[in-house]
């Protein structure tokens, strides 16, 4: 499955619709969270949208990477569609996100707000827990960080 990386201005309307629909299907419907899923980060000129389409042309996996403040990059909205889970795609997606972050923002640390049940997954990629668990939209989350700067 081929991963694509595009800035918002490079996304065609059909692809962005597919991305938005997949995110709403998972974060709003599947996880039963009523919140404004689309935000200003989506259209920011510096946000990278990383995704893959399956054989039917639907979103198989997606994440976005974007500057958060002056000293770090955030990875968020990480999804793998239901029909593609359990096949290692989350690891593939996150490895691509990390590679793109390193290429575009080589000296920045990377942070994410992990759903708490996924702490071990993100830890396997080198992320360290930097907060206690907290509720975000009714789901336990934990902040995690990948330190790239030399100490």
Q: With beta carbons less than 8 A apart as the criterion, state whether 76 and 114 touch.
A: no
- Say whether 55 sits in a helix, a strand or coil: coil
The answer to the question of residue 100 being in a domain is yes
The answer to the question of residue 134 being in a domain is yes
Q: For 72-120, what is each residue's pLDDT tens digit? A: 999 999 999 999 999 999 999 999 999 999 999 998 999 999 999 999 9
Q: For 50-72, what is each residue's pLDDT tens digit? A: 999 999 999 999 999 999 988 89
The answer to the question of residue 9 being in a domain is yes
The answer to whether residue 127 scores a pLDDT higher than 80 is: yes
The answer to the question of residue 87 being in a domain is yes
Number of domains into which the chain is organized:
1
Which CATH number is 113's domain given? 3.40.630.30
* pLDDT tier for residue 36 given thresholds of 50, 70 and 90: confident
Long-range contacts of 83-92, Cβ-Cβ distance < 8 Å, separation of 24 or more? 83/54, 84/54, 84/60, 89/1, 89/52, 89/60, 89/61, 90/61, 90/121, 91/124, 91/125, 92/1, 92/3, 92/61
**Residues contacting residue 68 through CB under 8 Å, at least 6 positions apart:** 74, 111
pTM of the entire predicted model: 0.93
- pLDDT for res 148: 64
- Say whether 126 sits in a helix, a strand or coil: coil
DSSP string, 56-118: TSSEEEEEEEEEETTTEEEEEEEEE-GGGTTSSHHHHHHHHHHHHHHHHSTT-EEEEEEEGGG
The answer to the question of residue 96 being in a domain is yes
* Cα gap 73→68, rounded to integer Å: 5
The answer to whether residue 121 scores a pLDDT higher than 90 is: yes
The answer to the question of residue 53 being in a domain is yes
Q: With beta carbons less than 8 A apart as the criterion, state whether 80 and 61 touch.
A: yes
The answer to the question of residue 123 being in a domain is yes
The answer to whether residue 150 scores a pLDDT higher than 80 is: no
Give the range of the structural domain holding residue 45, as residue numbers without chain letter.
3-146
Q: From the CB of residue 106, how many other CB atoms can be counted at a distance below 10 Å? A: 8
The answer to the question of residue 151 being in a domain is no
């Amino acid at each position: 499955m081929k991963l694509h990386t595009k800035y918002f201005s490079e996304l065609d309307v059909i692809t962005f619709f597919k991305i938005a629909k997949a995110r709403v299907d998972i974060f709003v419907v599947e996880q039963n969270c009523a919140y404004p899923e689309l935000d200003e980060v989506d259209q920011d000129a510096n946000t990278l949208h990383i995704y893959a389409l399956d054989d039917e042309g639907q979103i198989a996996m997606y994440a976005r990477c974007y500057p958060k403040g002056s000293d770090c990059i955030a990875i968020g909205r990480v999804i793998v569609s239901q029909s593609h889970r359990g096949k290692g795609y989350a690891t593939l997606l996150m490895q691509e996100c990390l590679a793109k972050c390193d290429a575009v923002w080589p000296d920045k640390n990377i942070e994410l707000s992990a759903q708490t049940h996924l702490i071990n997954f993100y830890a396997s990629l080198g992320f360290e827990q930097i907060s206690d668990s907290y509720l975000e939209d009714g789901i336990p989350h934990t902040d995690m960080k990948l330190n790239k700067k030399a100490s």
